[in-house]
Structure 1
């Protein structure tokens, strides 16, 4: 069975929900002020609007995971699948060693969380 953490939830699920929520907060902290200050640069404002939308959906996914909601489970899977794809795109746009390392770490974390989410015991929590 699971190693229980906060509120009787599995410890890894708690880490996943907190990590996901932290990522969503970072998107909002970056995106909202950027929209305000880049309002006259339409292309930047649109990109930052996408960052804010990602942040909101990530926070919703984190909340859904924390509350053991089925929609949170599926949203988290979608978030981490898209995260892997965006990391691959980021590597193709910037092939500096620092960026490649950062993106590969992100891909590794996303793959780990996806394996955890697809695990038999984890699926039982959400169904």
Structure 2
């Protein structure tokens, strides 16, 4: 007796979930959040030079790498939200890391500039991640 084979990509639950995320990605809210995530990543990337704390090598590299990761996630969400939606959790994690990084990276880098920049940027990024999760969960529904 032969058993039918099917591919996981054709599973009805997965197809329905991707369709829901595709609908969600077409909303102005989702598109705005994706753009803001990309912009927050780009700001974090260049923040040591804008704010002026490049003398702290560890935090400069941290913000540079974290900013690149965040910008790439923002771009991935903008291009294929239905496939990259799971990265919304990573946006939250990067936001939390950005808030804590002035105290956790090596060296004494917790100055007023670094703390304000990272706490404000990280808080915004964390909230963006939560909002992206909510948009994907709502799935493009008009009500509820």
What's the secondary structure of 1:54's corresponding residue?
Answer: helix
Q: Which residue of 1 aligns with 2:66?
A: 54
Q: Which residue of 1 aligns with 2:47?
A: 30
Q: How large is the Cα RMSD of the aligned pairs?
A: 3.8
How far apart in 2 are the matches of 1:64 and 1:104? 19
2:134 equivalent in structure 1: 115
Aligned residue for 2:139, secondary structure, equals helix
Cross-structure match for 2:27: 10
Q: Distance in 2 between matches of 1:86 and 1:28?
A: 11
Normalised by the size of structure 2, how large is the TM-score? 0.52
Q: Which has the higher contact order (CA 8 A, sep 6+)?
A: 2
**Structure that is richer in helix per residue:** 1
In the alignment, structure 2 segments of 5+ residues that lack a partner are 1-19, 104-109
Larger of the two Rg values belongs to structure? 2
Counterpart check, 1:64 vs 2:68: no
Unaligned residue ranges in structure 1 (runs of 5+): 123-127
CA apart distance, 1:29: 1.9
Normalised by the length of structure 1, the TM-score is 0.57
